[in-house]
Every structure is written in structure tokens, then in C-alpha cells.
Amino acid sequence: MALTYQDINAYTNKYIVPKSTDVIFKNDPLLQRILTKNKVSFPGGLSIQRPLMYAELASGFFNRGDTFDTSYRFTDTALGVNIKFAYTGITLLGTDDVLNRGPEAAFSIVETKMQNAAMTMSKLLAQKMYLDGQGVLSSTSALDGLIAWIDDGNTNATYSGATDITRSFASVGGITRADILAGPSTGAETSYAQVNGLNAYTNRDLSTFTLNDLNRAYSMAWFGSDSPDLMVVTQGGWNKIWNATTPLQRYENKDNDLAKVGFQNFKFNFADVVISKYMQDAIGTTNGMILGLNTEYLEMYISDNKKFQFGFTGFKEAQNTIDVTAQSLFAGNLMAVNPRSSFKILGTSLVS
């Protein structure tokens, strides 16, 4: 039988580089911006209710002797979403507490697992953020996602019954879109008159990409000082915009919040264009997607209970073992409270 160790192998230790390289996680620019700028802490409650103004009061010009319209007008309502819960689990083998210690441990397995837990939670929230949370593309226990918030409630059977990202969502946040101002769309593209209330401009079948199509979508979501400030795109969308713009148009942002934490981006009109690999993973490769988002109206609600603010439950011994397990927890939900100032473009032309 051959000896396991001979000569130099018997008395020379391995050099373990004291750092680990992430080759699975991708980070997400939109989640970074929301958690930095639009994180809202809430103390409790059965659900989250967000007031909206949706109708006008009586108004008009009048002449001498005219009477006023003094009828009562309902002008306000509220979006409502359930609180969603998420976790990442950390399990450690009891025997590793003997092995992974002292000078022979290049770094702590506990620390690497905790880092992994944080990045796993970020991945989970980012991917579900781009889906619906209505039981179509993601379960009802997941975040109420942007593909449902940024929509026009299209009633065409092709879209209202779809099982992919072209699916339309007649209601969101407990409100039926058709009950607020503009009626729902019936074609592949939302008309100007229909971009109102909770309806966002949506193009579900962009067959050939042009900058004019992108600019049209941007302008449809522009209301006075409100306009998209971030375009999150899949790989194909990034390629299309990059190739269609000239180098003078495509200057890199180096001073905004995303660039400062390592996300490359460039400007289109007044919006930062960024690529999200998590959005690509979440929606697949049949259709590409561009989300033009007014992030001022994206709100990530997170419980003020410390344990559910990505908190740590503490390690607990599993029954009949010396192994221990713990969880990192999240409680909250996502709301896009003004969808009309955002837009969504879908299409096979955005795939590559």
C-alpha cells in the first residue's frame, strides 16, 4: 500500500489564502438604492396601508350669480399590502468547533457563513423584487414585486392569462386599477390617456428596439418634476441601449450613489442605466425587460423589530446532536406608490 505522506508532504503545511472569493452572488443596484434611500421602518400592524390621492375636488370658473358644486367628493384611498417574511438559515456542525480553531484555521467558518447569509438574503429579496408576489411568477408569500406594480392592468386575454413576464395585473396593493381614473389597456402598448392612476406605461411586445421607443416610454412616465431616475435592464437591454447610443451620449456616471458602491452605469435622459443580473435570473431569457423607475416612489418597508431587520436569532442546539442552527430574518414588503411615473418594456428584441 502506498504511503499517504512522503518526504516534503509529511512536514510541510498547506498555505491557505486567508480570504474567500464570491463566485455565486451578483449584488443588485436597485436593491442597493432602495435600502439606502427609501427604507421605511414600521412598528407593527396586521398590514401596511399607504394613503393615495386619486381624484380632484370640484372646480371651475364662474360668473356673477352662478352657484357652486358643493357635493362631497371622495378623493383619497389607500394601497394595502401584507407583511412578508423571509429567512436565511445557518447551520454549523458541532465537530467543526474543534477543527476550525487555533493557528490552523485560516479564517472562521462562522464568519464566512454569516457573510453568506447576508448575501443570500440580498439575493432572495432582489430576485423576488422583480416578480409579482401574486402567485403567478412568485408565490403570494414573496414580496409584492415590480412586475405587478409597474403595469397597466391590460384586459387582453393574451396577457391577463399569461404565465410569463408579459402577464398583466388587474389589481395591485388591494386596488383594482380600473377603479381609479384611466381604464385598462387592451393592446400590447399603453396609450397616453391610459397612463394615469395606478397605470404605468407598458409595452409588452417590443419587436425591434430603437432609442425612439425607449424615449417614448420615458416621456410617457414624465409628469412635471416626476420622471424615471433609474433604468434597470437585463443583459440584452443593456446591450441594445449601449449599441444604439453614441460614446458622447453614453458617458459613465462616477459620482452618483450607485457608482460609489461599485455599480457601473450611464445616463439616458435623466435616468441612470444599470444592469441587474438578478432581474435576468428572475425573469428568464424568453423576453428581455427594461424597467424605468422613479425610485422616489419605491418604498421598502422593514419592521423596526431588530430581529426582523436582517437580525440574527442566535445559535440553538439541534435535538440529539451537537450541531447548532440560527436564522437571519426579514419582515416587510415593497410598494411602488406612483406607478404612472415609471414604465415597463418587454420583448424578445431585448434578449440579446
Give the cell for residue 31.
436593491
> Which mean pLDDT values do the consecutive 10-residue runs of the chain (352 residues) have?
74 68 74 90 94 93 95 94 96 84 72 89 94 96 97 94 95 93 82 93 92 94 94 91 72 57 70 90 92 96 94 88 92 96 94 82
0.75 cut: is pTM over it? yes
pLDDT for residue 160: 94
pLDDT for residue 259: 47
pLDDT for residue 263: 53
- Comparing C-alpha atoms, which of 82, 80, 77 is closest to residue 180? 77
Residue ranges per structural domain of the chain: 29-40+78-303+330-350
pLDDT for residue 261: 45
DSSP string, 84-139: EEEEEEEEE-TTHHHHS-GGG-SS-HHHHHHHHHHHHHHHHHHHHHTS-SSSSSS-
* DSSP 8-state assignment for residue 307: G
